[in-house]
Amino acid sequence: MIKIKREIFKQIIRIIKSYNNIVIARHISPDPDAIASQIALRDSIRLTFPNKNVYAIGAGVSKFKYLGELDHVDLSSIEHALLVVLDVPNFARIDGIDDLHYDAILKIDHHPAMDIIGDVDWTDEHKSSTCEMLINLLLNSRLVIDQKIAENLYAGLVFDNDRFLLANTTKETFETVTELLNTIPINISSIYDNLYTKKFAELKFYAHLINHIEITDNGFGYLVIDDETLQKYHVDAAAPSHFINDFYHIEELLCWCFITYDERNKIYKVNIRSRGPVINLIAEQYGGGGHKYASGCRFTNKADIDKLVKELDSACKDYISQENG
């Protein structure tokens, strides 16, 4: 395993060295793992290779501005670029690369493989986060890591495994964090403050989620959130995704999803989580994807809500039957 890692690290450095123009992208509706990984890698490459043009692109999220600023650049003017895709397995969910003409792809991702296959490809679905993978890379290659880069990567890692509470946390996750903390001093308290401090209006919205989620006899919970509700609590369409992991420890739930209507973009955004039934294959049917127990999708047809709810409820029923033999 160590030999395999060393080889992939060499391949990653080699392809980064080969391109003067590097564009780093990730998935739509990004979480801290996605944004932190692309900003951290961008900053590391810039520090290591000051003469390269390196950009982290995609729509920003105001809640995560503390991680750093994204780049606004005319992608159509960039020639012979290396496209780096982080934390996303399929082309349909990459944010903001429509105008980019690239020569090669470097992919680093911890989701199950889909249609993106990098010229250099490091896909490891057993890792807790893309940030965990980048910590491994930066600590074991010539890429520079400083305190801000380390703090961003730690933030993305602990967000994706919910402070080491989720099943994607492994012995190697703790070893990676230990190596990071032994190498770079970081302000853990500040990181947690940024990740978990919430406004009172957000907590009122969380109470709304708790009070209104519908739970079926099969342990499937769901809630459709319209634009009027978002306005009432002064939150945006991304707010449900900030709370969905908090439902992991509700005994009555096997699987749950929040379906949020984004009035601005005229689209339904769906966040799905599970404590047993496999959900990523269902999400893929609606143009989404993700992990077996943490996935998402989006669609424009309201009728798809009923279809998705029925499929997820059926998955819970089948899971119960299998568990009961």
Q: Residue 318 to residues 218, 250, 277, 302, 315: CA-CA distances in angstroms? A: 9, 20, 8, 25, 5
175, pLDDT greater than 90: yes
Under CATH, what is the fold of the domain 2-195? inorganic pyrophosphatase (n-terminal core) (3.90.1640)
Please report the sign of the dihedral spanned by the C-alpha atoms of residue 16, residue 18, residue 22, residue 26: negative
Residue-level pLDDT at 84: 98
pLDDT at 3: 58
Q: Dump pLDDT digits (tens) for 130-153.
A: 999 999 999 999 999 999 999 999
- Output the average pLDDT for the chain: 95
User: Does 39 score more than 90 pLDDT?
Assistant: yes
Whether 200-323 and 2-195 are alike in CATH topology: the answer is: no
Give the tokens for residue 308: 């998705």
Per-residue pLDDT reduced to its tens digit, 192-223: 999 999 999 999 999 999 999 999 999 999 99
User: Where are the alpha helices (H) located in the chain, listed in sequence order?
Assistant: 2-17, 32-48, 130-139, 147-160, 171-183, 188-196, 200-212, 227-232, 239-243, 280-284, 303-323
Q: What are phi and psi of 195, to 5 degrees?
A: -75, -35
* Statement: residue 229 has pLDDT above 60: yes
pLDDT in the model for residue 217: 97
| % of the chain exceeding 90 in pLDDT | 88
pLDDT digit string (tens) for 20-35? 999 999 999 899 999 9
Q: Which CATH architecture has domain 200-323?
A: Roll (3.10)
Burial class (CB in 10 A: 0-12, 13-18, 19+), 252: exposed
| SS3 per residue for 125-140 | CCCCCHHHHHHHHHHC
Q: Which residue has the tokens 């250099």?
A: 120
Task: Let me know the angle formed at the C-alpha of 279 by 308 and 226, rounded to the nearest 5 degrees.
Answer: 40
Band the pLDDT of 13: cuts 50, 70, 90: very high
pLDDT tier for residue 4 given thresholds of 50, 70 and 90: low
Q: Where are the beta strands (DSSP E) in 40-154?
A: 53-56, 81-86, 102-109, 120-123
Is the pLDDT at 11 greater than 80? The verdict is: yes
Domain chopping of the chain, boundaries: 2-195, 200-323
* Cβ atoms 67, 152 nearer than 8 A: yes
pLDDT at 106 over 90: yes
Tell me: the pLDDT tens digits for 241-273? 889 999 999 999 999 999 999 888 899 999 999
- The confidence score (pLDDT) of residue 193 equals 95
The average pLDDT across 175-183 equals 97
Return the C-alpha torsion angle 14, 100, 237, 70, nearest 10.
60
